[in-house]
Structure 1
Amino acid sequence: MPLSLVATGAAFAADPMPAAPSTQTAHDTFGPLKHIKAGVLDVAYVEQGPAAGPVVILLHGWPYDIHSFESVTPLLAAKGYRVLVPYVRGYGDTRFLSDKTPRNAQPSALASDVIAFMDALHVQKAVLAGFDWGARSADIVSALWPERVKALVSVSGYLISSQEAAKTPLPPSAELQWWYQFYFATERGRAGYEKNRHDFAKLIWQLASPKWAFDDATFDRSAKALDNPDQVAITVNNYRWRLGLAQGETQYDPLEAKLAKFPAITVPTITLEGDANGAPHPPADGYRQRFTGKYEHRLLTGGIGHNPPQEAPAAFAQAVVDADHL
């Protein structure tokens, strides 16, 4: 039964939940990937649902991949949505078209990839939903190109920041949560991630979702996306850029200047948070004012961590449907 619209701050129990269609099992894959040249990338993506349906784009984060949405996608497709799930630059089968393109992962570049992907597929407007890096990209697209976004679902809310804002130190307990960001700032960290990518990612999964009892097969399937030849460069660049230790590309300077002003998000939005999210994340009451359109916040209970689409797929899919109808 579809969940009803709720007031800001309502909690959703993640279990029990409707199962995905019986053709999907815990370790099935999406099936064959599609490819399209979009901007500087050859983007690998999954598409499900009717070709003429309203478009939903689902965006993953680090160190995850498109399989975070494997159970969400058929639920939305069954509702008549055309669901697109792309691999972010540096993940899976997505590749740069040129060896000369900087392996840049500053936030505006990642968000621009979403616009390029939409343009390549002739998608004028879509519902965007994401978590981690994907939520940040969805936030940025919604803030800078609101005419392209019908609605937004963002895990952990408003994730737009800037290099200038990142200069302000956090309390020690908060800085501790960002240990890997400081690790990646060093050559030792880059080499360590290159050498121990699989174990590193598994540790992040465990810390970010401490109550999620994922099995090895589930993790190993997603970890294959980290074998992308640009993964280390993209990951390290992303975190070094945040600390002002890596320069972006000048073509994105105007976008970053706009983002540094923390623009409001005006599109209809539902923000989500898991009650057991072990990754760094802002408090919901700290970003409420950034959303000036129709808005709801939902707390997912039952031990849900940093990856709600995979840990609570029915609740995540319902948020997409409800945001589309705000």
Structure 2
Amino acid sequence: MIHYASTSLLNIAYRQEGASTGQTVMLLHGWPDDPTTWDGVIPHLVDAGYRVIAPWLRGFGTTTFLRPGTAHTGNAGMIALDILELMDTLGLQTVRLIGHDWGANIAEALAVGWPDRIDRMALLSTPPRLGGMPTPPFEHAQLEWYHWFQATKRGEVAVRADPNGFAHIMWENWSPKGWFTKDTFQHVALSWRNPAFVDVTLHSYRSRWDETPPDPKSVDLEERIKSTKTLSLPTLYIQGETDGVNPPAVSEQVHEKFTGAFQRIVLSGVGHFPSREAPDLLSAHLLDFLAR
């Protein structure tokens, strides 16, 4: 069942399962994906007694902008503000965050801005942006071709013309061949019919490399992320051994950004979508982390 909560800018669609009270785990999906990425994880969390909230981010699914003139921005700091307002609307003083891809960067933005509201966090598949984003070495820049493609006028035209085809290339290249079915992809692609999906996507990737400014409402938070070198909250970092966009070499030094309890786990034979490719194994690691 899909629930809705209105914030200052959005009507946010979200899934809620498990206990009605007690510790809440917030699940933040990535791109190109949606909350169904957690289908194999949520039952494990519910069985362990957690209340689970999994929203559709701005530009995805039936999460909609309340007013037509609102800018369809997508930088991580702005989406973090959306999630903070969702927490306030739902009366959640603190949460435990699990974020994949975009969701990982949104989680760290929340931890930078409101450390008293985040009990702990697990980041999946995407390294933190703490301290800013230096230009990647050529080997990694090649894997991130889609970032640079979207920064061009022709790239924008191509993405607007065929967003599903663009997303399909990522699914094909970021994980081992044969990891998903045509039906699964088509089902998730329904969430990308949102009229703001392409605008949010383009702004997300352009803004992270300073090709366009972040949403003005989030400038202060984005600057804090760039100036913050380390975080102290308990953090788990998980990624796949065969991740085709962020290979393990990219995250080898992630521990240097955390001064508190930290663990990095690399899942053998898994690509960029561990929640879809290995939900039981991932859930075991997450439950162990959440229970410590």
The ranges of structure 1 where at least 4 consecutive aligned residues each deviate by more than 4 angstroms after the TM superposition are none
Q: Following TM superposition, by how much is the alpha carbon of 1:134 offset from its aligned partner in structure 2, in angstroms?
A: 0.4
Q: Taking structure 2 as the reference length, what is the TM-score of the superposition?
A: 0.94
Per-residue CA shift, 1:125-169, capped at 9, x if unaligned? 11100111001111111222111111111014642257xx44x54
Distance 1:99 1:304 in 2: 41
Q: Which residue of 2 aligns with 1:311?
A: 277
TM-superposition CA deviations, 1:76-104 (whole Å, max 9, x none) = 11111111110010000101111121111
Which among 39, 47, 59 is matched to residue 78 of structure 1?
47
Give 1:98-247 correspondences, 5 Å limit. 98-156=67-125, 158-160=127-129, 165-166=132-133, 168-247=134-213
CA contact (8 A) 1:59 1:86 kept: yes
**Which structure's residues are more often helix, by fraction?**
2
C-alpha deviation, 1:289, in angstroms: 1.5
Contact 1:127 1:320 in 2 (8 A): no
Q: Is contact 1:60-1:68 (8 Å) kept?
A: yes
The separation in 2 between residues aligned to 1:190 and 1:220, in whole angstroms, is 22
Q: Which of 315-324 and 59-68 deviates more?
A: 315-324
CA distance in 1, matches of 2:237, 2:178: 21
- Distance, in Å, in 2 between the alignment partners of 1:280 and 1:299 is 12
CA distance in 2 between partners of 1:64 and 1:182 (Å): 20
Structure 1's 179 and 37: CA in aligned 2 closer, same or farther, altered over 3 A?
same
**Equivalent residue in structure 2 for 1:56, among 22, 25, 31:** 25
**Root mean square deviation of aligned Cα:** 1.7
**Secondary structure at 1:35's aligned position in 2?**
strand
Residue 227 of structure 2 aligns to a residue in which SS? coil
Residue number in structure 2 paired with 1:37 = 6
Query: Structure 2 counterpart of 1:86, which letter?
Result: P
1:169-213 CA distance string (max 9 Å, x none): 433222211111111112221221122112211110111112452
Question: More displaced, 85-94 or 103-112?
Answer: 103-112
Matched to 2:41, the amino acid is V
- TM-score, structure 1 length as denominator? 0.85
Per the alignment, residue 288 of structure 2 pairs with: 322
**Aligned residues of 2:72 and 2:200 also touching (Cα < 8 A):** yes
Superposition pairs for residues 271-282 of structure 1, below 5 Å?
271-280=237-246
Q: Is the 8 A contact 2:24 2:51 kept in 1?
A: yes
Out of 262, 266, 286, the position equivalent to 1:299 is 266
Conserved? CA contact 1:89–1:95, under 8 Å: yes
Give the direction of change, closer, same or farther, for the CA distance of 1:205–1:157 in structure 2 (3 Å limit).
closer
Gaps in structure 2 of 5+ consecutive residues: none
What is the one-letter code of the residue matched to 1:170? P
Q: Distance in 2 between matches of 1:224 and 1:66?
A: 12
Q: Quick one: higher RCO (CA 8 Å, sep 6+), 1 or 2?
A: 1
Secondary structure of 2:253's partner? helix
Shift in CA distance, 72/56, structure 1 to aligned 2, threshold 3 Å: same
